[in-house]
Amino acid sequence: MAPMSGGSREPGRSVTSKVLAILGAFDAAHPQLTLTELAARSGVPLSTAHRLVAELEEWRALGRTPDGRLRVGQRLWELGQLAPNRLRELAHPWLQELFGSTGENVHLAIRDGVEVLFVDKVHGRRAVPIVSRIGARLPMHPTGVGKALLAYEPDWFVTSYLARALERPTPRTITEPGRLARELAAVRAQGYALTYEEMTPGSCSAAAPVLVDGRPVAALGLVVSSRRARELPRLVEPLRAAAAGIACAYG
């Protein structure tokens, strides 16, 4: 494969930065893009994007859907599997065990900036559909895992987070800073978080932090249908036990 030819008509912007912008245009909300959409989201001129995309396709960094839209390619997935993830490797057996004992969707998330990043998930056909998937990001305050993480962050971070304009995915999302601060204090006092249709209508969750030396390295969560919200409290103990097991293995 020949070196990538992105051109140099844009002062101060290298070919590498253009390629990274193209790859960075894909996210959980935009897993498939047309060439025009890709150029617009990456800020790369259409003609340049066309040349670079052709080379990325040749290298299998990008692929095509049956209708011709661009998507992340198999080669990038292969490279991603090489990234070390000790937390996921140690935690996965605990997720499997928790799913086996409860039959509910189980996921593991970490904090990345002001969002939660889902790093693992175990689910079954009969469990309620959920929006989380490995590699997806969501706001912290409407999610159980996000609240479990946020409650154990330093005061300066919590204060900064609450000062932001907070997203409201559903009418039940708590966005008032004072009320949210009180809820986070309760989460820290009791050691787990509960949410009721704050991220997705029809879904409720329970989550517990994975604490290593008092620091939240991750959060473990369960999601159930709102019709079964009254069952959440009985899931808290096995959830906390699994989170403690992960913390012990990781620490």
Is 118's pLDDT higher than 80?
yes
* Cβ pair 110, 87 in contact under 8 A: yes
Q: Comparing 15-80 with 86-250, is the CATH topology the same?
A: no
| pLDDT score at 13 | 79
- The CATH number for 86-250, chosen from 3.30.300.10, 2.40.50.140, 3.30.450.40, 3.90.550.10, is 3.30.450.40
| pLDDT score at 6 | 47
> How far is Cα 248 from Cα 120, in angstroms, rounded to an integer?
18
Question: Any idea which of 65-69, 99-103, 160-164, 215-219 has the lowest mean pLDDT?
Answer: 99-103
Strand partners, 208: 220
Tell me the fold of 15-80: Arc Repressor Mutant, subunit A (1.10.10)
Distances (CA, A) of 79 to 19, 60, 65, 166: 16, 11, 20, 35
**Domain residue ranges of the chain, discontinuous segments joined by +:** 15-80, 86-250
Nearest to 108 by CA among 118, 98, 97, 100: 118
Query: Mean per-residue pLDDT for 44-63?
Result: 94
